[in-house]
Structures are given as C-alpha cells and as structure tokens.
Structure 1
Amino acid sequence: MIIESLLLQNFRRFKEERFNFDSGFNIIIGKNGSGKTTLLEAIYLLSTGKSFVTNAVQNCVNVNDDYFFIEGIFNKVSGADANPNTLSILFSRDKKIVHLNKRKVKALSEIIGKFPVIVTDYALVELVKDGPSKRRDFINHVLTFTDEDYYKNVLRYYSFLERRNEYLKNGNFTMDLLIFLSQEIYDYGRKIREKREKIINDFNERIRNIFYTIFEKESNLTIIYRPSKLEKLLDTDSLTDEVNKKRTLYGIHLDEIEIFDGEINLREFASLGEAYSIGFILKLIESELIERYKGTAPILLLDDFFSHLDEVKRDKILNYIKNNQVILTSVSIDDVSKKILDSANIITLENGSNGNN
C-alpha cells in the first residue's frame, strides 16, 4: 500500500497544502513546530478515523476555522485492487463525513483496515512500560488490519458491554436482561479471544529472530497472554458479585498482555531505551503480519525516527523496511545517510508550507 498524495485544508497549521509522495522513502524535514507530525497524523486519521496525537479529533481543526478537510489518494500497487482510491474526511461541528472514491461511506467500519498504516514515535515506550490496556489497543490495531471481522466484533462487544455496565450502575434491569447481555458479550468475547491468541502466537514465532537481526543480541522475548475469565459471565455467583459492585468484572476488555524476556517482566524492569527498541520490533512484526494476511505491505510513518536510535540500528531498520513505503520525519537532513538521501523524496516544511509541490 502507498499513499500518492495528501491534501490538507484547515488541518492544524496548514490552511491549504498538497503533498506528493514516492513509493519508497519520503523524508519530511523541518524545525520543531513546522508540521512534520501533522502530516503523519493526517495520513493515520484517513486510515483509522483516529488521531495518534489527540483523543479529540476536533483539536485538529485550524484555530481560525470550524472544519477541516483531508484527502488522500491510496494505491495498493499490486493485486486485484491495484487502482487509485481517493479517501476523504470532512470534519465539521463534531461530525465526520467520509467519502471513498466520491461515494459517501455510511460507517467507518466500511473502510477501517483497507488502507493499513503503522506509526512509530516515542510512545513505543508506553507499549512496553504502561499497563495492559496499551498492549490490548496494539493487538486490536494489528487485528483490525489483518482480520476483516475483528473490528466489527470489537464494536459489537463494546456496545453490549456499555449497555450492561449502564444497567449495572443504575440498577434498572431484570435478571433476564442481564443474562441476555452476558451471553452476547461472551459470544463476541470468545471470538475476539481466539483471534488474539492466534495473532500473539504469530508474534512469538517472529520476535526473537527479528530482535537478533536488528540488534544482534540474543533474547528470550515472549508475549504472555492472560485472558480474563470470560466464562464467569455465565456464572450465577459471578453475576451476583457484579450486581453488588455495579460493573462488569470479566471479559476481553480486562485481558492482560505482558512482554517478558525470560522471567523478567519488561514492564517493570526494561529501561526506556530497551522499551523503545522492543516496541519498534513489535511494529516491524505487525508490518510483516499485515503483508502476510492482507497481501499488501502497510505504509510506515516514522516520527522523529533519528532521535531515538544510534546510526547502526537506524541503518539496519531502514534496510529491513526498504520494500515498504516509508514516510519519516527529521529536524535535520544531516541525520540521514547519503544512501537513503540519494533515493528519497525530500519534503521541506517552513512555517506550514512545503517545498514538495
């Protein structure tokens, strides 16, 4: 998958700009605050409907306007869908209007997973060091791009879970209603759990080899999956406990996912540098799995890539991902090796405008 061009209107600091991208390496150069991360954010938003910078998409609207419009032209490059696809989002008054090839999309679920992108930034540290919710979100992201049914099952699961928790909280329910909702959550949860188990096994098959390839160090890296006791949703005693505590106590929203090196829990003992490196390895595996299951390599968005790794590791990673479309940001062109520069498309940002047009 590649993105050929990106149009931004009233998106953060960009009033109206168009950017063109090559199928290989694209390097966005600019000072801090020039809008480098904003370009990556816009591409990610087109792909997922979400921002990786803020939880409130309305924050992306230029401060002097009341809407933003972004449009990207994507191309699968090979296979049956090797034709340009124009994807656009208009956000106005807290409402998203999405068009694919000039046709209005009724729900984001119609396009989620079709234009895979992966973003890396310093938040990779949180993937290893933060609580299980970060790793659940990561696994959800991987499965959204590798399994067509997964995203829909997650939406249905959380819809039933929200209703169940609301009833438990306000006490306005019958036991028959609660049992019905428990069964629905269990059925969707079981499907989600099976998918998570399989994809985590896929990660564990690759993680040590890729870590050695990039960092030339042996490891005993393993992702440990401890699913919540989903079956307790159907247990009468557990149901009584949930009624007393006014919330759902079991389900895939409480699954624990941890990363170990041998017997060492890296959440507790990894340094920030180690956590960033391992997080990057997880993203590389995600890229491979998307290509394996969907037949197209995802677009890689590498924010501030040159700041967190030494030159040797950077070169190895860039060589490893040379077959993907890569869009990365840097404060200075001096950080980029001549080998990459010779083949890269350079986009220079100054005060919210670009030298790519």
Structure 2
Amino acid sequence: MEKKRMVIKELTVKNFRNFSEHTVQFSDGINVIYGPNGSGKTSILEAVAYLSNPRSFRGARDYQVLKVGEKHFEIKGRIVSGEEKHTIEIVYVQDDDKKEKVAYLDGSKVKRFRDIQEIFIAIPFSFRDYSMVDGGPAQRREFFDEIFSLLDLDYYETLRAYEKLLDERNEYLKQEPELIDREYLIETAKDLQIMADKIVEKREHMINELSKYLDKTFKIEYKSDFKGKNFLDYVDQDIAEKVTTVGPHSQDDYLLYYKDLLARHYASEGQKRLLYLSIVLAFKKLIEETKHYEPVFLFDEPFNVLDTHLLERFISNLSGQVIIASITPLLGAHNIGLTIEE
C-alpha cells in the first residue's frame, strides 16, 4: 500500500510563547530553523506538533505557552496530506470563567482531537530525551507514552481518560479520612482498573512491534510491576497515604539494553545516543508500515548531541519532511533564520 505523505507548507502563530504573530514557510525535505537561544526555534517545533497532537511536547500546560499578558493563542497550519490540502487551526482561550481549546479542520470545529491525526501527524523528538537511558522510570514512561499515543489513537484516548480520572481521584484523596466516601473510591478503582489493564496490554504489544525494527545491538523490555494487581485491594492504603498508590502510571518501566546489558550501566555515551537514534528510526519505520503514513519528523537541537558523522548517518535514514531546530544553518537544507523579538 502506498504511504500517505504529510507535509506542512506554512505555519502561523499568534500569542504563542514569545511570538505576538509570526509566519513560517517550509519546504519539503530537510528544514532547519536556526537562531540564537531565545529566538523561538523550539517554540516553532512545538507549534507544529500542536497541529497533530494539541498539547506541548515540552510538558507545558496550555496556559503556560500563552504569551504573557494575552488571553488566547492561535496556531494555524496549511497542510498537504497525500493528494489533499487542508488547514488545521488550534485555538486556546483563557478568561475568568473558563479555559477552552478547540481544533478546526478547514474551518469546521473538530469533535475529537484524534480526527486531525488522520490528516496530519508530526512527531517531535528532543535529543535531550536520550538522557532517559540514565533517567528514572517516569522519564521513560513519558517518552514512550508520547510516541505510542501517535501510533495508537485508542491508546491515546485511554491514557488521557486514565490520567484525568487519576488526577480527580488523587485530589479527592487529599481530604481528611473521615470525609472520604469509600464508595466513590471503589467505583473509581473499578474504572481505573479497566483502563489500566488496557494500557498495560497495549504497551506490551507496541513494544513487541517496535522491537521488530530496532537495531539488534539494542533491546527494549517492558516491565510492569502493576500487572496482576487490583486497585480495589489498595483502597485503604490509598486513604492512608492520600494518593492512588498503584497503577501503570507509577509502577511500569522500560528497560533498555545494549548487547543484553542494561544500557544505563554498561553503554558508553556514544552507544546511548545510538540507542536513542535506533528507537527513533524504529518508530518511524513502525508508523510508516502500520499506519501507511509518512509523517513529519521534528528534531530539537540534534547538533548538541550528535557529531558530524552521526548526524549525517541519521539524516541519511530519514525521508519525508523533517524540521530541525538548531543554533546554526545546515548546508543543503531549507534554512529559516529567527532573531530574538524585542
């Protein structure tokens, strides 16, 4: 089956991060957004990613990417998706009464954010993420949650619903024990269990699929200490500790291996970077083979991590549209210069 190629032709942002209003034109192939620190290079990548998955890949809340002093931001992209041309717009409004985020496709309001992912997928990677090899389980869970959410929209919706209910339950548990309604905790425990079991099952499946495309020097093992546990068995402990004490949000990890040895202990810094690149390229191959899309890939500051040889090797493995944020331009790329706004 022929892959559907996705390309962003133009991006306009208003009141986003430090930009009052800014428009960028992209070309097909390799694009490099360059400029000094503080000029907004990563913010442009962040805005492109919002058009695919309307949340910040940098972990910020919507109100935190709103330009200081403003009450709304807009992100608008002109997209080519296969043979079709579309416009996607994300609008966030914050006032005294409410906060609202709405997506529009060709001027019509989208009922579900996942609907725009059938039109446009932009996958962000920050080369700071390779530190997840040495980091804690939460860092690895966040990384794989982001890429799996783009691969499986049902996983994305299940994870978001799980996180929303978990936040509500944890907020409720902050009350004094005598004010707690056990029936509420029991009902929410049952709901969380259904979603958590699905999350664990999908994580296992997607790691198995990703591993098919991973360089054989490396290996990823999904380890769930939550699997087999039941939220209902921990209600009393939850009340005592004022937090939901079990779940895949806190008890799961991804073990990364170099030549069958834990990479964080036995791999050199160069090998850890190669492991990260291998995961990126494996995911690219997986999404192209399973979704039949050729998505846009976004890379934040790769030159800080990769030497010239590794960078050339990496770029040579990429096809489709690529947008890179960098301090300096790249020979042969479509280079887009930014300056610091006064």
TM bucket, shorter chain: 0.7 to 0.9
Please list, as runs of the form range in 1=range in 2, the aligned pairs for 1:49-64 lying within 5 A after superposition. Answer: 49-53=54-58, 55-63=60-68
Distance 2:117 2:316 in 1: 29
Q: Is 1:305 aligned to residue 302 of structure 2?
A: yes
1:76-95 Cα deviation digits (max 9, x unpaired): 22xxxx31221112233254
1:143-188 Cα deviation digits (max 9, x unpaired): 2222231112112222333344344443344544433322221111
Q: Is 1:101 aligned to residue 98 of structure 2?
A: no
Q: Which amino acid aligns with 2:206?
A: I
1:52-94 Cα deviation digits (max 9, x unpaired): 34513334333464433220122222xxxx3122111223325
Cα gap change, 1:182 to 1:230, in 2 (>3 Å): farther
Please list, as runs of the form range in 1=range in 2, the aligned pairs for 1:189-338 lying within 5 A after superposition. Answer: 189-209=196-216, 219=217, 221-233=218-230, 236=233, 238-254=234-250, 255-321=252-318, 323-333=319-329, 336-337=330-331
Match of 2:41 in 1: 36
Match of 1:73 in 2: 78
Structure 1 gaps of 5+ residues are 210-218
Percent identical: 30
Distance 1:148 1:250 in 2: 25
Aligned residues of 1:226 and 1:257 also touching (Cα < 8 A): yes
Correspondence for 1:187 among 190, 194, 217: 194
- Partner SS for 1:47: coil
Cα gap change, 1:269 to 1:317, in 2 (>3 Å): same
Distance 1:327 1:320 in 2: 14
Aligned residues of 1:124 and 1:276 also touching (Cα < 8 A): no
Q: Which amino acid aligns with 1:139?
A: F
Match of 1:23 in 2: 28
Displacement after TM superposition at 1:351 (Å): 4.2
Distance 1:244 1:233 in 2: 17
1:10-29 Cα deviation digits (max 9, x unpaired): 33343333222122111223
Aligned residues of 2:258 and 2:267 also touching (Cα < 8 A): no
- Partner SS for 1:62: coil
- Partner SS for 1:231: coil
Distance 1:253 1:149 in 2: 17
Q: 4+ residue runs of structure 1 moved beyond 6 angstroms?
A: none
Match of 2:3 in 1: none
Match of 1:119 in 2: 124
Cα gap change, 1:261 to 1:83, in 2 (>3 Å): same
1:93-130 Cα deviation digits (max 9, x unpaired): 25433222111234535445753222233322332222
Aligned residues of 2:213 and 2:286 also touching (Cα < 8 A): no
Aligned residues of 2:76 and 2:87 also touching (Cα < 8 A): yes
Distance 1:38 1:160 in 2: 30
Distance 1:97 1:33 in 2: 28
Match of 1:90 in 2: 91
Cα gap change, 1:142 to 1:70, in 2 (>3 Å): same
Cα gap change, 1:113 to 1:248, in 2 (>3 Å): farther
Distance 1:242 1:63 in 2: 38
Cα gap change, 1:155 to 1:304, in 2 (>3 Å): closer
Distance 1:330 1:30 in 2: 7
Aligned residues of 1:182 and 1:234 also touching (Cα < 8 A): yes
Higher helix fraction (1 or 2): 1
Distance 1:31 1:174 in 2: 54
Distance 1:119 1:241 in 2: 38
Distance 2:245 2:308 in 1: 47
